[in-house]
Chain A
């Protein structure tokens, strides 16, 4: 059987990494082809005369010899490395995918998703809301007097059917208390409208996220804690907050919530959201006993938060549908 070993030795002496594909093809034919050295060797063997054990042993040797020749040719083809690391494919696997590009989620949505997650952790449900609402829901139910300037044409979009485009997500308070009953912890994200001229910080279409928490014995201390927890989560640090007096007809007392932050390299208080203890008239309008229940509400400006969080300077960009803007906010959520 040393004849087979000789063939392999002879092959290994003649194969070389310098050979081009054509030469390797010819070499392969000379050894493994129909008239090659291996086939010639096989034709010299009388298999019928061999015992089964001998036949098996010879078969194994033939396979090994063939494999060594195949491997030698493959190694010569692969100029850069040993045969065992040869790639299984002949295309460039370092290319990026080019099927559909990278998608994006609107920054307002991204902010909303995050706040929803944070509040869910604190036991708040998320509630849907309508954008075209009755005057009652937007104003009366919130203790906003009939002659309040907010109801004027220059502030509110009135609809021909007598409704209004909601000017704040507070329009959901009444419905939420009626639908869920009390106690209730809920947030209502959504689009709001105000009839005003637009500039970099004013938009007639903007986004808020209202929060409402009604239970027995809810305190101002609770409100501060929940607001602080929200901001700690959003900004990923121990955020310093403060309340100061603010006036909104649907809360009493009403507050402006500021947080301590760095703006252009300088630390200062920044006004972030109005909030307050829900006014007894608002509770009464929703059929809730104000002498038994108390609670707080807050109106987080999603547009404002997205501007802060994503460094957007112009509120009008959010509704513009500009691709160059939208594509910056890759879908990481």
Chain B
């Protein structure tokens, strides 16, 4: 929204302060100023003239051109004009030779089509007044020829563009007057009251027939009748100001209604009383078409709020008037409607139909009812000032839903100081509140504040709301920062987030992985390219950005495969991972948790998938160890348990104890073809948060025994299809007090053979004495017996 300092100065003295300072002060005390714009209208050698004669030239190539004679105040002048509204008797604005127009064009005398052109009759756009180039500017007949443009407008103005977002909760600031009130308080200057007339409330006039059939969304509805004589235009200052804040000038009735909308913030609507003698507001009831005054046709819905005259829709309430009832040039009798509509109702209608008007934008903010009560008096006053013959013809009739009780809020003594952490005595707080129209009176243990009726209902309801008013006027910059007192104790570490960070450091710092983030949803199209069918019921977005991306991801792998696909030309070999959420629905409940997944890609044809696999396995082992686990065991995944097309016979489940924490494997060649140019990729996906344990575990030290032990090697033959981890589990379950340590030292598998050989090292030791050959023999026999019972074939004896 734009505010004009000239307009503001109707109500508060703004002298002696630079535009930049205005911008800063409004920003820090009230609302954000986005931009400051200096506006200058060139006025030199531009003045009012009276048109004395208009003669049609009837030129075949330039139809509509007329020869015009003018009275300039200093004698007659001649010109040529093509504007459709030029007519004898009107007062217009003319640029004399030497004048410069708004686009920089200079005016010279000359000839047009063989006719003298000594001056130029100007449109509003040519003068930089408002956006209309169709017709020439017409001035009230009271303006004497020869009056300079500089005496008809305020040529210089400063516009402050306010960020609308910062006004969403301040419906009182959607007009110039609201900002005048704020500035008066900020500058400690007086605020002039808004001049109004009570002529529309005079007794003895007939009333307007109005009805509200949807009171739940119409808190206040009013209509009055008035008559404005024909051949009238609004004062140029008013029209210029409207032009500056974005609304081009039209008819005086529309101009004044708009002027009050921009001044007070309250929309209103003028209907031609010949067409609209009575008003009724109700929901549309059944979907239908409606043509608005800009001649656009809209499909309105049953719940939209409509203003009817009889059964004829004449205006989409709070949004836009109807084409059928607009003000015509000959309109004299007017039904002036001014109402308060439910903000949400108006917002939904405007949003659905895609018509956001100055009116709907204001109603959306939940305007105070008081404005609707105040606006007609202001409208009448402005009309009467411009056209003294204006008269009230029907008394303002009001249908109000709620009785208005002023809101009162108790503020405890010293509350503002305690809230701010800076000394703001109660007397000062009260002074600040009074400066913006609040009433304050002392009460027990504090004071009572009366909220002025122009402040929005939702805006001020608690003492904390008042604390904002006090502190912003006091100035947040006047509050000295103060660190809170020291707390007792240190906050707990978040073991999950720390665990994630540790995993990141291992992958990124030690294994050359790049962390990426991908969207939280899957692309159905990509999933079908991969041949992936979900195993889980998806968590689905009702209103996705694209119909392809409605389902939230339940695994990170497909998106990472897409990353690999999109980056395959960037590098031959690369490694990426992501830590992010997966979601699905299980037994009607949402499941959501973090996963860590990654891809190790090598597109060189000769690269060894085995080397990559075990390097990645090593990385995951590091992550497990960093999370205080001994490592992962890898188990084959049964075909029926595979979770996606990336899991083939190479895929293994990574377990810690008997918990499966994740999976990893070599990407099947079919998917390598889909996603990459050549080579191989190793994938993994683990439930990272499942690994969270103590961040700083207390590993128990085992004292060295002084008695030497003995290293014993064994080689076992084991079916490859069973997987190493099964053999490992058998060995891990073996207990013998002589066994101090054991580990796998070598594995050999001849391709094609069903069994592989695994060599282990066992360390045999006693805490009380050196092991003897008997001890060793006993240990070996016991171990071999144990393994034989479990069908483990030993190649050692």
Contacts from A to B (Cβ < 8 Å): 99-106, 108-109, 113, 116, 120, 123-128, 130-132, 145, 147, 149, 152-154, 157-161, 163, 165, 183, 185-186, 189, 191, 193, 195, 204-205, 213, 215, 217-222, 224-226, 228-229, 242-247, 252-256, 271, 277, 279-280, 294, 318-319, 321-324, 326-327, 331, 333
CB neighbours of B472 from chain A (8 A): 244-245, 253
Q: With A123-B490, A161-B539 given, is the CB distance from A252 to B519 under 8 Å?
A: no
**Please, how many angstroms separate the alpha-carbon atoms of A98 and B481 in the complex?**
52
For B501, the chain A residues whose CB sits under 8 A away are: 109, 113, 333
B494 near A127 with CB under 8 A, answer yes
> Contacts A125-B491, A125-B492 given; 4 further ones with Cβ under 8 A?
A100-B615, A183-B487, A252-B462, A319-B518
**B712 proximal to A (CB < 8 A):** no
The answer to whether A319 touches B467 (Cβ under 8 A) is: no
Name the residue of chain B whose CB is nearest to the CB of A107.
B515
Check: B355 CB closer than 8 A to any chain A CB. Answer: no
- Known interface pairs A159-B542, A221-B422, A222-B483; A323-B571 also in contact (CB < 8 Å): yes
* Bound complex: CA A276 to CA B511 (Å): 43
- Out of A145, A205, A244, A323, name the residue touching B28 (CB < 8 Å): A244
Say whether A222 contacts B543, CB under 8 Å. Answer: no
Closest to A147 in B: B344
Does B464 have its Cβ within 8 Å of any Cβ on chain A? yes
The answer on a CB contact under 8 Å between A123 and B505 is no
Q: In the docked arrangement, what's the CA distance between A39 and B477, Å? A: 96
Nearest CB in chain A to that of B168: its residue: A247
Partner of B494, one of A125, A145, A195: A125
* Cβ contact within 8 Å between B515 and A321: no
Q: A220-B471, A221-B480 are in contact. Are A247 and B169 (CB under 8 A)?
A: yes
Q: Which residues of B contact A106 (CB under 8 A)?
A: 515-517
Q: How many residues of B contact A (CB 8 A)?
A: 89
> Which residues on A sit within 8 Å (CB–CB) of B344?
147
Contacts of A322 in B (CB 8 A): 516, 566-567, 570
B581 located at the interface, meaning its Cβ lies under 8 Å from any Cβ of chain A in the complex? yes
**Are B476 and A321 in contact, CB atoms less than 8 angstroms apart?**
no
* Inter-chain contacts of B166 with A (CB < 8 A): 245-247, 256
Determine if B700 is an interface residue (Cβ-Cβ < 8 Å).
Answer: no
Which one, A145, A157, A252, contacts B464 given CB within 8 A? A252
CB of A245 within 8 A of CB of B30, answer yes
In the complex, 18 of the A-B residue pairs with CB atoms within 8 angstroms, ordered by the A residue number, are: A100-B615, A101-B573, A123-B486, A123-B491, A130-B581, A131-B583, A132-B552, A157-B542, A158-B542, A159-B540, A193-B520, A224-B481, A244-B472, A252-B464, A255-B476, A280-B462, A321-B567, A326-B576
Chain A binding site: helix, strand, loop or mixed by DSSP?
mixed
Interface residues of B in 575-598 (CB under 8 A from A): 575-576, 578, 580-581, 583, 585, 590, 592
Q: Are A126 and B464 in contact (CB under 8 A)?
A: no
Q: Are B508 and A103 in contact (CB under 8 A)?
A: yes
A186–B497 Cα distance when bound, in Å, is 14
| Of the residues A185, A213, A253, contact of B468 by C-beta under 8 Å | A253
Q: Do residues B542 and A191 form an inter-chain contact, with CB atoms below 8 A?
A: no
Segment with Cβ contacts to A, from B115-123, B413-421, B732-740: B413-421
CB contact under 8 A between A195 and B516, given known A253-B464, A253-B472: no
Query: Which chain B residues in 215-274 approach chain A with CB under 8 Å?
Result: none
Bound-state CA distance A225–B496 (Å) is 29
Shortest CB-to-CB span from B598 to chain A, Å, is 11
Q: A45 CB to closest chain B CB, in angstroms? A: 44
Q: How far is the CA of A163 from the CA of B575 in the complex (A)?
A: 35
**CB neighbours of B487 from chain A (8 A):** 123, 183, 185
B326 at the interface (CB under 8 A from A): no
Q: Which residue of B lies closest to A189 (CB)?
A: B497
Q: A160 touching B540 by the CB < 8 A rule?
A: yes
Q: Are B476 and A319 in contact, with the CB atoms below 8 A?
A: no
Shortest CB distance B116–A (Å): 53
Q: Which residues on the B side are within 8 Å of A222 (C-beta)?
A: 421, 482-484
Q: Counting CB contacts under 8 A, is B81 at the interface?
A: no
User: Which residues of the other chain, B, contact A126 by a CB distance below 8 angstroms?
Assistant: 494, 497
Question: Which of B421, B471, B571 is close to A253, meaning CB atoms less than 8 Å apart?
Answer: B471
- CB neighbours of A226 from chain B (8 A): 483-484
The reply to whether A243 and B476 contact each other, CB–CB distance below 8 Å, is yes
Residues of chain A lying within 8 A (CB to CB) of residue B519: 205, 319
Let me know if B504 is at the binding interface, CB within 8 A. yes
* CA distance in complex: A132, B508 (Å): 29
